[in-house]
């Protein structure tokens, strides 16, 4: 009985190893990329980075020479901060005419509200937002969606 079981196992080894398909080394496997999905909703992230542009680089002596007190300067910064806003639109992997147009006009936006309004004109609706503040910079993330 042991000999029969042993012979069956030895006889089955070639069948089990032949069942697996081997790939050829010289042929590369093609990666399929889908250009259209079955999703009914598109998502976009508007990322805005605020960088302050003010008199921080000037020394106290230069500021005093200009006749401005440091308390006045701090008050001016709080009331009307001068900021440089960098806006980007993240559509994922989808690149089309709308994406390139939005990225072109992104340099003209002075506030995040202007960027959100421009997206709303193209059918995007606001979902939520996050604001992260680090040393001197504030980063805004606006999450938008649109039905296809």
pTM: 0.59
3-state secondary structure of 105: helix
Task: Judge whether 89 and 102 are in contact, CB under 8 Å.
Answer: yes
First to last CA, the chain: 68
3-state secondary structure of 46: strand
pLDDT tens, 127-148? 999 999 887 788 999 999 999 8
- Each as own residue / partner, the long-range contacts of residues 115-121 (CB below 8 Å, 24 or more positions apart, any chain) are 115/46, 115/48, 115/87, 115/89, 115/142, 116/46, 116/142, 116/144, 119/44, 119/46, 119/89, 119/144
Give me the pLDDT at residue 67, please.
56
Give me the pLDDT at residue 80, please.
65
Give me the pLDDT at residue 55, please.
47
For the chain, which ranges sit under pLDDT 50?
32, 55, 63
Give me the pLDDT at residue 127, please.
95
Give me the pLDDT at residue 126, please.
95
Give me the pLDDT at residue 27, please.
53
What are 39's two structure tokens? 């999703």
Give me the pLDDT at residue 77, please.
65
Distances (CA, A) of 74 to 64, 69, 111: 14, 9, 22
Give me the pLDDT at residue 28, please.
55
Give me the pLDDT at residue 36, please.
61
């Amino acid at each position: 009985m042991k000999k029969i079981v042993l012979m069956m196992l030895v006889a089955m080894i070639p069948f089990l190893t032949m069942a697996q398909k081997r790939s050829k080394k010289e042929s590369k496997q093609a990666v399929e990329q889908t250009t259209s999905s079955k999703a009914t909703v598109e998502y976009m992230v508007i990322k805005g980075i605020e960088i302050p542009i003010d008199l921080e680089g000037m020394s106290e002596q230069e500021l005093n020479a200009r006749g401005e007190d440091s308390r006045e300067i701090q008050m001016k910064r709080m009331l009307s901060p001068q900021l440089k806003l960098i806006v980007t639109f993240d559509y994922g992997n989808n690149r089309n005419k709308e994406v390139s147009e939005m990225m072109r006009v992104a340099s003209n936006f002075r506030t995040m509200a202007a960027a959100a309004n421009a997206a709303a004109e193209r059918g995007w609706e606001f979902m939520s937002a996050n604001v992260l503040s680090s040393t001197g910079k504030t980063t805004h993330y606006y999450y938008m969606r649109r039905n296809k």
